[in-house]
Amino acid sequence: MTRLMDTIGESVRDRCKNASLNPQEDEIRKCILRFFAKTGNPPTVKEIAEIVAAPPDVINQTIRKLRQADVLTTQAGVITSIYPFSAVKTRHTVVFADGHSVNALCATDALGVHFMLGEDITFRSLCPECGCEISIVLKGGRVISRDPTGAVEYAKARDHYGCTAETCCPHINLFCGRDHVDQWRAKNPAFSDGEVYEIEEAMEDGRMIFGEFLK
């Protein structure tokens, strides 16, 4: 049986591949990611233009191309998300060693940030069932600590093939434990046929999807 996360992961990586970015466009994509990681917010067109030394027209064109490929989203010309980051507050927060943080689109994306940047992170996530904070510390490609210890990931794609930042990521969450997944599923029958993953497994999904994202 194909794991749900393999399908989702493939679709995210395919989207970047299918965008067929030329080297400059890919550099712009990476610039947006690095800026987002460093500041917690997306760069403006002007900021990107200064960093990559390209005219704003080229930046705008590339943003349009990335949006069409469903790699990023915009609102009124401002970048609102780019895999794996969100400018809008989500229940998934990646905290870096110096204390600054960035919102991730989903739990797998947050775990993937560790591999995309090669930086130690603390991933804080709110359990959809009880609202309590779950904390996962990743160091050197390993889960160093987790609180609560029974925390798991639950993934449910609304539509495997139309998986986008809006439709898919809100349904890849961490829960305090399997009991809270079951309680939440009972209350949300439309999302009850998802899959539960151990944190290590979810972390490997993050590595598979985002490990090469900035290479």
- What does the CA dihedral 72, 76, 77, 78 come to, rounded to 10 degrees? -60
Looking at the Cβ atoms of 97 and 132, the one nearer to Zn ion is: 132
Q: How far is the CB of 191 from Zn ion (least distance, A)?
A: 16
Cβ atoms < 10 Å from Cβ of 54: 18
Residue 49 is which amino acid?
A
- Residue 180 in contact with Zn ion, rule: CB under 5 A: yes
Side-chain-side CA neighbours of 100 within 13 Å: the count stands at 9
- Residue 176 in contact with Zn ion, rule: CB under 5 A: yes
**Residue carrying structure tokens 């940047």:** 117
- Which residues 6+ apart lie within 8 Å of 62 measured at CB? 21, 24, 25, 28, 29
- Residue 186 in contact with Zn ion, rule: CB under 5 A: no
Q: How far is the CB of 175 from Zn ion (least distance, A)?
A: 6
Residue 169 DSSP symbol: G
Looking at the Cβ atoms of 29 and 156, the one nearer to Zn ion is: 156
Footprint of Zn ion on 116-155 (CB under 5 A): 127, 129-130, 132
Q: How far is the CB of 155 from Zn ion (least distance, A)?
A: 16
Looking at the Cβ atoms of 122 and 173, the one nearer to Zn ion is: 173
Looking at the Cβ atoms of 127 and 143, the one nearer to Zn ion is: 127
Q: How far is the CB of 135 from Zn ion (least distance, A)?
A: 13
- Find the helix or strand (DSSP H, E) in which 197 lies: strand 195-198
Distance between CA 89 and CA 170 in Å, rounded?
Answer: 12
Looking at the Cβ atoms of 57 and 179, the one nearer to Zn ion is: 179
Distance between CA 35 and CA 37 in Å, rounded?
Answer: 5
Footprint of Zn ion on 33-72 (CB under 5 A): none
Q: How far is the CB of 130 from Zn ion (least distance, A)?
A: 3
Q: How far is the CB of 13 from Zn ion (least distance, A)?
A: 31
* Binding span for Zn ion by CB under 5 A among 55-63, 109-117, 166-174, 180-188: 180-188
Distance between CA 28 and CA 15 in Å, rounded?
Answer: 16
Looking at the Cβ atoms of 14 and 179, the one nearer to Zn ion is: 179
In sequence order, the β-bridge partners of residue 198 are 152
Q: Which residue ranges make up the site for Zn ion (CB under 5 A)?
A: 127, 129-130, 132, 176, 180
